[in-house]
């Protein structure tokens, strides 16, 4: 149980520097000590009732603390401070089709401790059952019900508002299949090649039943797709939804793979409209998670990005763990520590699997 004596609560103690330092050393050497009444004789006898403030669950709040430097007791307290684990997937658990060493063991250890698990991903290329299958093949215990993907969120949102028109989908089969599962029709998946006279596109080439444009990751993105998306969105009644705004995919080496944010921003630019973004760290995913009955103070969010995963955790009041196996580098962490520009993670590990070496035997 951590203990905090603050300047605001006990101003007189700060006026007696020597006594305060002596008291601090004593408290630090015995963390279980509970101070009932503190009598200080400094000209006048004054009684202070100083109670320890319970900071369980916020012991490392926004401190960018390297969990590898924690004591065994601190690690145990950290593990005891949450009941639910939310984790990003790409860059935290795996990269492409390869599990990051130790990640499956760490997630399965959380489950062994009785933690509730959710896999929260901005990746829209697969349906939930495919994500669950991939996780299982890589050694993770996972079920479809524990997967929260942006493809699923799109279908959940549109079904929730009673949407009955067609969706023009600048995206992949993952979103298409999730839409189909809730009875929503869609067009646009697959190649739409550039023709020599592409600027001569006619209104008759647009489907009058389209009432929403959804932008996710699309490996077949093309100029005609941007033209159609922007043309549908010329109608103010047409909904504009983006799955996420991730700038790039986690990838080792010098090759950069642009993420869905690249496509969302492009459509925003040519349509002169702003998308409703459903994935991390935006409001819809937060509201969905809250509807699951999570206790924010007893929830841990694990991620490799500060502007999505950690930002979501901060907005929701979750504890946050940043790992360095994806987008964020050790150099980025040092910058976070020095500048403390929000959002700032509570704790940091080189990789999720390193947690197991810290667990008290």
Could you give the residue numbers annotated as active site? 88, 90
Q: In whole angstroms, what is the distance from residue 250 CA to residue 254 CA?
A: 11
Given a contact cutoff of 8 angstroms between Cβ atoms, the answer to whether 233 and 267 are in contact is yes
Token output for 202: 């006619």
Q: What is the DSSP string of 64-125?
A: -EEGGGS-HHHHHHHHHT-SEEEE--BTTTEETTEEPTTHHHHHHHHHHTT-EEEEEE---S
Checking DSSP bridges between strand 38-42 and strand 319-323, what pairing results, if any? Answer: unpaired
253: left (phi over 0), alpha (psi -120 to 50) or beta: left
- Distance separating alpha carbons of residues 28 and 16, to the nearest angstrom: 18
Cβ–Cβ < 8 Å for 348, 324: yes
Q: Distances from the Cα of 86 to the Cαs of 17, 247, 259, 316, 354, in angstroms?
A: 44, 21, 22, 12, 18
Per-residue three-class SS string for 260-281: HHHHHHHHHHHHCCCCEECCCC
What is the Cα 201 distance to its own chain's centre? 40
Question: Rounded CA gap, 110 and 103, in Å?
Answer: 11
């Amino acid at each position: 149980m951590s203990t905090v004596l603050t300047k605001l609560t006990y101003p007189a103690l700060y006026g007696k520097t020597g006594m305060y330092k002596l008291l601090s050393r004593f408290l630090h050497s015995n963390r279980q000590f509970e101070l009932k009444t503190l009598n200080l004789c400094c000209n006048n006898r004054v009684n202070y009732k100083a109670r320890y403030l319970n900071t369980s669950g916020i012991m490392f709040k926004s401190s960018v603390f390297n969990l590898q430097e924690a004591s065994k007791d601190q690690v145990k307290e950290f593990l005891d401070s949450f009941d639910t684990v939310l984790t990003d997937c790409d860059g935290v658990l795996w990269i492409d089709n390869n599990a990051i060493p130790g990640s499956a063991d760490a997630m399965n250890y959380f489950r062994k401790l009785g933690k509730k698990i959710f896999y929260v991903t901005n990746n829209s290329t697969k349906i939930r059952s495919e994500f669950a299958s991939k996780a299982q093949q890589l050694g993770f215990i996972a079920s479809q019900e524990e997967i929260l993907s942006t493809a699923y969120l799109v279908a959940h949102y549109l079904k929730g508002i009673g949407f009955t028109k067609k969706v023009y989908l600048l995206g992949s089969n993952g979103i298409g299949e999730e839409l189909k599962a809730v009875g929503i029709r869609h067009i646009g998946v697959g190649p739409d090649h550039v023709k020599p006279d592409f600027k001569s596109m006619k209104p008759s080439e647009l489907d009058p039943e389209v009432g929403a444009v959804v932008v996710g990751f699309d490996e077949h993105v093309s100029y005609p797709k941007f033209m159609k998306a922007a043309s549908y969105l010329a109608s103010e009644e047409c909904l504009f939804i983006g799955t996420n705004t991730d700038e790039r995919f986690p990838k080792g080496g010098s090759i950069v793979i642009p993420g869905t944010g690249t496509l969302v921003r492009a459509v925003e630019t040519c349509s002169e409209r702003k998308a409703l973004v459903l994935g991390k760290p935006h409001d819809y995913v937060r509201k969905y998670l809250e509807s699951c009955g999570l206790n924010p103070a007893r929830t841990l969010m694990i991620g490799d990005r500060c502007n999505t995963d950690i930002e979501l955790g901060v907005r929701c009041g979750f504890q946050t763990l940043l790992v360095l196996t994806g987008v964020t580098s050790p150099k980025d962490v040092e910058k976070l520590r020095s500048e403390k520009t929000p959002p700032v993670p509570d704790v940091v590990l080189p990789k999720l699997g390193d947690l197991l070496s810290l667990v008290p035997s």
